[in-house]
Amino acid sequence: MSETTAPEIAVMGALAYDQIAKTDKVFGPEGPGLNCKVTAQQEFFGGCAGNIAYGLGLQQVPAIVISSAGGEDFRRYAQHLNLDLSGILVVSGAQCARANIITDPNGQQFTAFAPGPSIAAETWQVHLSNQPLESAPIFVCAPFPAELMRLALAESRRRNPDTLNIWLPGQYADNLDANVLEQSAELSDVIIGNSHEMSHIRGMAPKSLAGKVAIETNGSRPVRALLPDGSQRTLPVPAVTNHLDPTGCGDAFVAGILPEILKSLKTAGRPRWHTEINNVIRAGIRHAAKCLVRQGSQTYELSMES
């Protein structure tokens, strides 16, 4: 993104290096278990915020990334995404986040995530105060430490009550208690997660989804959407041939839906969920399919056949 281009979407979350590997061992309910041998391990650029920013860049949507990074190894990532560095809190002497991702023959994944530099809530609040949250019509709060997500959603709401807050609790979801879930959900307009994450939210804080748009993905199974009036939509996911790696497909899905939501905001001043949710979700499914046929989260192109 050009440093002089006003962002239309602000994305907060992790920038990470992904170590992606496969295993011939089928995972059980608890993950890979002991003595899981891996094959074909490679490093890729990853992290939810970076993945979403990459997808938005492919669609020529100006975005600003708000994140933290380690000064020891961030330069290569910044050059890769051509990032506006004003949104990145670089911590000297630290390393960036890392994810070790192993995929079994059925496409099930196990991820061990190192979150990168530890940031105090007070430090993050100051960093947020310097970001242009009031000028971006959409704020995406991707997975990040719980208190930093809550602070960011609150700051976005305070700076511009009309900003559409989209919350992706991600891998932090099943570690959040009812109080944190309720507070963060109250500050959100749209909540997106996979079936495991959304199941935890419904079980731990069942009222937190009331009045929200809640979008639930489930791999190759249909995508479900709960609308503010309580009605639901279910959309099938077309089969993808030559699928290779599911890493980052959820983030690609989010990157795909954001331009559709942005168009609705520009034309109507607010999303017209009842008439447009199907198109929004289908755009996300198409975008995720592009990611599925490539290894890594930031290697696909929109012009390629899926």
Q: 84-117, pLDDT tens digit by residue?
A: 889 999 999 999 999 999 989 888 888 888 889 9
**Strand 221-226 and strand 63-70: pairing?**
unpaired
Q: 24-34, pLDDT tens digit by residue?
A: 889 987 778 77
SS3 (DSSP) at 110: strand
208: number of Cβ within 10 Å: 20
Cα distances from 20 to residues 30, 33, 41, 140, in angstroms, run 19, 17, 5, 25
pLDDT score for 3: 47
Positions of the chain with pLDDT under 70: 1-5, 304-306
Structural domains in the chain, sorted by start: 12-29+39-292 (3.40.1190.20)
Residue 299, CB-side half-sphere exposure with 13 Å CA sphere: 16
- Tokens 């050009």 sit at which residue? 2
pLDDT score for 304: 52
Structure tokens at 72: 């020891």
Determine whether 25 is exposed, middle or buried from the number of CB atoms within 10 Å of its CB (0-12, 13-18, 19+): middle
